[in-house]
Amino acid sequence: MPTTKYVAHRGFSMRAPENTTAAFELAGRSGFWGIECDTYCTTDGHWIVHHDRTVDRMTNGSGKAKDHTFEEIRNLQIVAGHGIEAYSGLKIPTLEEVLYICKSYNMHAFIEIEEYHRDTDLNRLVRLVDECGMRGQSSFICFNADDLRKVRAIDNEVPLGFLSAKPPSPEDIELAKRLMPMFLDYDYKVMTPDAVRACREAGIEVSLWTINQREESLRFLDAGVDYITTDTLLTEE
């Protein structure tokens, strides 16, 4: 039976604005095994950490995240999120900033690939992990299987995770086996304990998102789920 590892969803996003350095620092201080973050590449090739396709909800700006230059992104202010009143001067962080926080707290990084402009951007993304000293403590996750195949062609060792909001399928298992090391990362609402057990019996690790209630997590813990992504501290309840 594996020991389930807890991953802070966009940092400790129930207590600090999501995907900010404050949220990732708080996750580290709170003892999370890892964090999940969402990444976009700017028009001039910088990888930033932000969830939405646009910057409208979280910042004082507007427009698609990937269609800004890095300078434009850095001029924006974070103006929303849990606990925003306790934080001033927050900006959209670079992936490097987030990885250095992970390194300082010995946390693993689940790096979700959102949008980018060209395949060379993916090469830069993979190199960043090495440059930040986070090889062995980072995984790339994505809903797009083709992007995961591209990352595997760049690096044959970095762990990958296939995100899905659909129940597990034989095709998921086959994809994971072809791209090993790789885990399957599901919306917990489409999963059952038996489905977790079936994936693990096939030799595939399983991650679930986003579980915020202790009672919801227990049945999956008993099934041997490997990772749980959460907005809060499930172990406190």
Convert the pLDDT of each residue in 199-225 to its tens digit.
Answer: 999 999 999 999 999 999 999 999 999
The answer to whether the CB of 148 falls within 8 A of the CB of 140 is yes
| The one catalytic residue among 9, 46, 68, 108 | 9
For the question of residue 9 being annotated catalytic, the response is: yes
Model pLDDT, residue 237 = 47
CB neighbour class for 196 (10 Å; exposed up to 12, middle 13-18, buried from 19):
buried
> Is this structure's pTM higher than 0.95?
yes
Model pLDDT, residue 146 = 98
Which stretch of DSSP H or E encloses residue 150?
helix 145-154
The answer to whether the CB of 152 falls within 8 A of the CB of 180 is no
235 falls in which pLDDT band (50, 70, 90)?
confident
What would the pLDDT profile of 162-209 be if each residue is shown by its tens digit? 999 999 999 999 999 999 999 999 999 999 999 999 999 999 999 999
CB neighbour class for 149 (10 Å; exposed up to 12, middle 13-18, buried from 19):
middle
Residue type, 143: F
| The one catalytic residue among 50, 51, 68, 108 | 51
102 falls in which pLDDT band (50, 70, 90)?
very high
Query: For the CA atoms of the chain, what is the radius of gyration?
Result: 17
Alpha carbons 34 and 36: distance in angstroms, whole number: 7
Structure tokens at 97: 């900033």
Write phi, then psi, for 114 (nearest 5 degrees).
-100, -90
- CB environment 33-47: b (16+ within 10 A), e (fewer): bbbbbbbbbbeeebb
65 falls in which pLDDT band (50, 70, 90)?
very high
Quick check: 236 pLDDT over 80?
no
234 falls in which pLDDT band (50, 70, 90)?
confident
Model pLDDT, residue 157 = 97
State the average pLDDT over residues 114-131.
Answer: 97
Range with the poorest average pLDDT among 1-15, 133-147, 151-165, 179-193: 1-15
Alpha carbons 96 and 131: distance in angstroms, whole number: 9
**Average model confidence (pLDDT) across the chain:** 96
Model pLDDT, residue 2 = 61
The answer to whether the CB of 141 falls within 8 A of the CB of 111 is yes
Model pLDDT, residue 136 = 95
State the average pLDDT over residues 112-138.
Answer: 97
